[in-house]
């Protein structure tokens, strides 16, 4: 089982969008768990999963609720979700109270490692213990960058966190929400991959097709399979699969 954290210190950059679409794309060829770690529960909502965690997140972190009991299936084959509800606001505190508090997610995921080929972590923004846990558990961290002069700062912050980790994941970033009508966006999409080795040249466009995901409550590949956006997320999944060495076609 490989673990992929979709992470940035910033909010509103396209983490949930990438996590949901990567998870859906992955589920077409292997067994996938998407873990929604954000109390806003956006990926839980998009995949139409009931947002209640029995006993709350504290119980899950303490091991009183089994991971298996909290995981829900979705309308899509091979795609399960570990949903977030509002108790995830206490996740930071719950982790802080746990033994080996930076390694808790990794430990919890061990219990489902026979059931899934890939776990995708939809991380909340911030550089807290939640982030440390996600990055410790991850084999690969995927960082969406919005095209702005400051965008590399959030990538630098990811690198700072993993610098002190005894189990650093591989890291790559991609440009998200790129509006090709804007010069700043076009030049960021062209220059960042050339100038920064961690930025790949897969670019997610800013489009209404992607914006519609919250209303459709479905992955883009399910409601707009022929769109450019669907194609780009398929490419992104190919890149993630080969970087994290998820076995191809393990179904």
Ligand X SMILES: Nc1ncnc2c1ncn2[C@@H]1O[C@H](COP(=O)(O)OP(=O)(O)O)[C@@H](O)[C@H]1O
Q: Which residues are at the interface with Mg ion (CB under 5 A)?
A: 15-16, 38, 42
Question: In the complex with ligand X, which residue's Cβ is closer, 130 or 204?
Answer: 204
Question: In the complex with ligand X, which residue's Cβ is closer, 18 or 246?
Answer: 18
13 binds, among Mg ion, ligand X, none (CB under 5 to 8 A by kind): ligand X
CB 8 → ligand X: shortest distance, Å?
6
CB 107 → ligand X: shortest distance, Å?
25
Question: In the complex with ligand X, which residue's Cβ is closer, 112 or 145?
Answer: 145
CA distances from 32 to 8, 25, 26 (A): 21, 10, 7
Question: In the complex with ligand X, which residue's Cβ is closer, 58 or 205?
Answer: 205
CA distances from 44 to 85, 139, 147, 185 (A): 9, 23, 27, 30
Tokens of 126: 């911030």
Binding site for ligand X (CB under 6 A): 11-17, 42, 176-177, 204-207, 210-211, 213-214
Residues 193-199: contacts with CB within 8 Å, 24+ apart? Answer: 196/152, 196/155, 198/143, 198/155, 198/159, 198/171, 198/172, 198/173, 199/145, 199/155, 199/172, 199/173, 199/174, 199/175
CB 156 → ligand X: shortest distance, Å?
17
CA atoms of 45 and 228, how far apart (whole Å): 24
Question: In the complex with ligand X, which residue's Cβ is closer, 160 or 216?
Answer: 216
Position of tokens 């489009």?
207
Question: In the complex with ligand X, which residue's Cβ is closer, 31 or 151?
Answer: 151
CA atoms of 74 and 102, how far apart (whole Å): 29
CB 138 → ligand X: shortest distance, Å?
16
- Count of C-beta atoms within a 10 Å radius of residue 153: 12
Choose among 21, 27, 132: nearest CA to 73.
27
CB 12 → Mg ion: shortest distance, Å?
8
Question: In the complex with ligand X, which residue's Cβ is closer, 132 or 154?
Answer: 154
CB 50 → ligand X: shortest distance, Å?
20
CB 48 → Mg ion: shortest distance, Å?
16
CA atoms of 135 and 70, how far apart (whole Å): 22
CA atoms within a 13 Å half-sphere pointing along the CA-CB vector of 70: 29
């Amino acid at each position: 089982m490989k673990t992929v954290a979709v992470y940035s210190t910033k909010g509103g950059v396209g983490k949930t969008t990438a996590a949901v679409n990567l998870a859906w794309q992955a589920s077409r060829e292997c067994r996938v768990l998407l873990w929604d770690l954000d109390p806003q529960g956006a990926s839980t909502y998009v995949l139409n999963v009931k947002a209640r965690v029995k006993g709350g997140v504290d119980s899950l972190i303490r091991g009183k609720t089994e991971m298996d009991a909290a995981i829900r299936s979705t309308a899509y084959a091979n795609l399960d979700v570990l949903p977030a509800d509002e108790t995830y606001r206490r996740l930071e505190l719950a982790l802080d109270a746990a033994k080996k508090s930076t390694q808790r997610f990794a430990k919890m995921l061990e219990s489902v490692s026979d059931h899934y080929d890939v776990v995708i972590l939809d991380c909340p923004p911030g550089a807290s213990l939640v982030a440390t846990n996600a990055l410790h558990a991850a084999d690969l961290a995927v960082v969406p960058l919005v095209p702005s002069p400051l965008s590399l700062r959030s990538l630098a912050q990811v690198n700072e966190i993993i610098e002190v980790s005894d189990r650093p994941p591989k890291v790559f970033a991609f440009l998200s929400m790129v509006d090709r009508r804007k010069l700043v966006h076009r030049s960021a999409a062209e220059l960042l991959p050339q100038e920064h080795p961690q930025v790949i040249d897969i670019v997610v466009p800013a489009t209404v097709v992607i914006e519609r995901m919250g209303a459709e409550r479905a992955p883009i590949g399910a409601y707009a399979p022929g769109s450019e956006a669907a194609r780009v997320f398929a490419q992104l999944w190919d890149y993630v699969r080969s970087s994290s060495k998820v076995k191809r076609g393990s179904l």
